[in-house]
Amino acid sequence: KQHTLFLEKMTQFILREIPKARYSSLLNDFVESNYFVIDGDSLLVTCLCDKSFKQGQDLHFFYLVECYLVDLMSNGAQFAVVFFKDAECAYFPFPELLPLRTALILHLQRNTNLDVQTEISGCLSLEWGLFLEERHPYFLIVSDEGLNDLQTHLFNFLIIHSWGMGVHVVLSSGQESDSLRFYAYVMQSKQRNQKFSKENQEMIQSAYKSLIQCLEENKMVALTPHFGHLSWDDMVEEACKTLSLLKQLWPQGSDIRSVLCVTLCSLSLRMYHCFLENKKNTASGQETDVHQVDSNCSGLQEVEDLCRLHCLSVALLLCFPLSQRARTRIITSHWIKNIHTFLKMKKWCEYFILRNINNFGSWNLNLNHLSDLNDENLLKNIAFFYEIENVQELHMNLGDLIKKDYEHLWNSVCHLVKEFDVGKPFPLRTTTGYFLGRALSPVRETSLENMPNLGFIPMTSAVIDAFVGDMLKDLPILKSDDPVVTSLVKRKKSVVLFQWHAHKLLSDDYDRTKYNSKKSRDHHDVNLLQKDRTFQQFYGKSLEPVFRKFIVTQSAHPEEESSGGKISQAHGSKGEQVQMLSLS
C-alpha cells in the first residue's frame, strides 16, 4: 500500500510538470543537444498508438519507426536507442506485442547502423548510471503514457531518475518535424525536480523493485494457461531445440521468414498438442469438462489447417511484390474465439524463437526481412477464400513457384514434428469449420489506383558495371515495358528545349506569335496580360539606374609613325578611358 501511494504521488508530480514543458526545436534551441537517448519502448508505444497503424500490419509499424528515425538523422541528430531488460515484463499481458518488440530490436541491430543498447537491466541500475556519465546525453525522449498503468509507472521512474541525473526529458507525444527542425515538448531538469528525486531516493528504489516483482509474477500468470507445467526456461529450451533441428535440415541457411514459418508452426503444433492432452487428462472422468474443452478450443486437425494456411501466406509473401500486396482487399472479419487460445500460444512461440535467433550466429540466415515477417491481412484473405469463395468453385491457381515453396515449407514442418502426423500439404483444408467470424460486410476493397512497381530503371553504364559488377543481378530491375519506364520516355519527348548559352527557347518569334494567336481572347485573359506587363514596367522603373561602361580599345598604328605621336595618342586614349570610367 505504501508503494502504491508513492506511485500515485510520483504520477501527480509528473502531471504537474507536463503543462510547464517548453515547446522547442530540439536540435537548434540548445547548444549541447548534439547527442541524446531514445527510450526504445517509448518509441514502440508511440508508433503503436499512431492513427494509421492497425494490428497485424507489422510492415507499416516498421515504416513508422524508420520514418521517425530518418527525420531525426536528416536533421543531423546523433542518438542511441535503449531497450531496458526490465521493460520487457510490461508486455506479458500483450503476447502479440512480444515478438514485434523482439523483431524491432533485431532489425535495428542487424539492418541499421544505429547505436542500440539492450544489455542495461533497468533505469535504476548501475549500468544505466555509468552509461549516462560516459555519454552525457543532453536529453532523453520518453513517453508519458504506456499501454497500461504498470508500463506508465515504468516510464515515470525513467523520467524521475533522468531528472535526478541532470538529464532533460523530451515527451514522445506531440512531436513535429520539417525539413529544417524537429520540435517537441521539453521538461528540463530543474532544481525542484532534482530535489524530488534525491529526497525520495530510497522509496524510489523500493517501489521500483516491487513493481518489477509484480510484472514478473504476471509473466507466469500469462504463460501457465497455455503451456501448463512448462516453465520459462523449458520454453526457451524447446525453441532452441526446434531451431537446432531446422539447422540440421537446412544447413545452408535460409530467409528469416521461411525459418520462422517452419519453426513457429512446428513448435506451436507440438505445444497445442500437449495443451489438448493436458486438458483431457485433467478432465478425465468428468464428462462436462470434456465437452467444455471441445466447445472452447479448436481441435488439433483444425489447427493443422490453420498452419497450412499460414505456410501458404508465407509462400505468397516470398513471391508477391509489395506493389501487389498493397492492392490486397481488406478483410474486416475477426478470428473466431475457438482459435484465440492457439493464436496466443503461437505468438508466445514466435517470441521464444526470435529471442534465440542470436544464439545461432554461425547459421547463414538472411535477416533483411525482419520488418516483414507476417501479413495478417494476407492470411485472412486466404482463409476467407477457402471458407467462402472456394465453395463457389472459384479454385485458386497457385502456380509452380508458389506451390513449390509452400510444399517445401510444410514438408519441413512435418519433418520437425515427431509426436504425431500433421498430414500432407494438400488439400489445404481437411475440416469444414470457419476460422473467421461472420460480418455484414466482411470485405472492404482497397483503392483501384495501381501502386508503381519498386525497382531500378534499366540502363547501361561502363562506370557502374566496373564498380558494381554482378551485384546488379540481385537488385530489382524494372522491365522496359513497365509503366514507370514508358512514362519517362514519353515525358522526355515533351521536354521544352533551351539554348545552352542563353537559356532561350529553341523557337523563333514566328512560332511564338503563332502560338499566342491561338490563345483565348477572353476579357479575363487580356486583363491578366495587361496587369503582368504593367507590373513589369513598374518594376523596371523602380530599379536603380545603371550607367553604361564604354571600353575604348586602342587601334593598331603603323610602325613608320614617329614615337612622339604614339606617346601623345596613347596618353590621350588613356585619359579618355579614365574619364569614361570615372563617369560610370
At 325, list the grid cell.
500486396
Peptide bond into 93 cis (omega under 30): no
State the CATH number of the domain containing residue 133.
3.40.50
Calculated CA dihedral for residues 85, 86, 88, 89, nearest 10 degrees: 150
For helices 340-355 and 98-110, what crossing angle results, to 10°?
30
pLDDT tens for each residue of 518-551 = 555 667 777 777 777 787 777 777 766 655 556 6
Same domain, 142 and 247: no
DSSP-derived secondary structure for 216-248: HHHHHHHHHHHHTT--HHHHHHHHHHHHHHHHH
Confidence at residue 482, expressed as pLDDT on a 0 to 100 scale: 76
Residues 129 and 83 in one domain: yes
Question: Alpha-carbon distance 413 to 261, whole Å?
Answer: 9
In a domain, 568, yes or no: no
Angle at 174 between CA 137 and CA 68, to 5 degrees: 65
Does residue 446 sit within a domain? no
Kindly state whether residue 160 falls inside one of the protein's structural domains.
yes
456-488 confidence digits (pLDDT tens): 777 777 777 777 766 677 677 777 777 777 766
Averaged pLDDT score across all residues of the chain: 84
Residues 215 and 106 both lie in one domain: yes
Same domain, 100 and 90: yes
Q: How far apart are CA 423 and CA 300, in angstroms?
A: 11
Containing structural domain, residue 506: 497-540
Residue 389 pLDDT: 82
| pLDDT score for 211 | 96
69 inside domain: yes
Residues 118 and 205 in one domain: yes
Using one digit for the tens of pLDDT, what is the confidence trace for 333-373?
A: 999 999 999 999 999 999 999 999 999 988 999 999 999 99
Cell numbers of 313, please? 501466406
Residues 478 and 463: their CA atoms lie apart, in Å, by 20
Strand partners, 81: 38, 116
Same domain flag for 233 and 325: yes
| Residue-level pLDDT at 481 | 75
Report the predicted TM-score, pTM, of the whole model to 2 decimal places: 0.77
Q: Quick one: CA torsion of 302, 306, 307, 308, rounded to 10 degrees?
A: 100
Please check whether residue 578 lies inside any domain of the structure. no
In a domain, 550, yes or no: no
Report the range of poorest mean pLDDT among 93-107, 249-263, 425-439. Answer: 425-439
Q: Are 546 and 511 in contact (CB under 8 A)?
A: no
Same domain, 25 and 174: yes
**Residue 416, domain member (yes or no):** yes
Any domain includes 337: yes
The residues, ordered by sequence, that sit 6+ positions from 323 with a Cβ below 8 Å of its Cβ are: 450, 451, 452, 453, 454
pLDDT confidence band for 322 (50 / 70 / 90): confident
Instruction: Give the residue, 138 or 290, on which the prediction is more confident.
Output: 138
Q: Are residues 401 and 504 in the same domain?
A: no
- What total of structural domains would you count in the chain? 4
Is 276 in the same domain as 413? yes
265 and 192 within one domain: no
- CA distance linking residue 414 with residue 407, whole number of Å: 10
Q: Do residues 187 and 284 both lie within one domain? A: no
* DSSP secondary structure code for residue 392 in this structure: G
147 lies in the same domain as 247? no
Res 485: pLDDT:
72
200-212 pLDDT, tens digit per residue, is 999 999 999 999 9
Segment 45-76, tens digit of pLDDT? 999 999 999 888 899 999 999 999 999 998 88
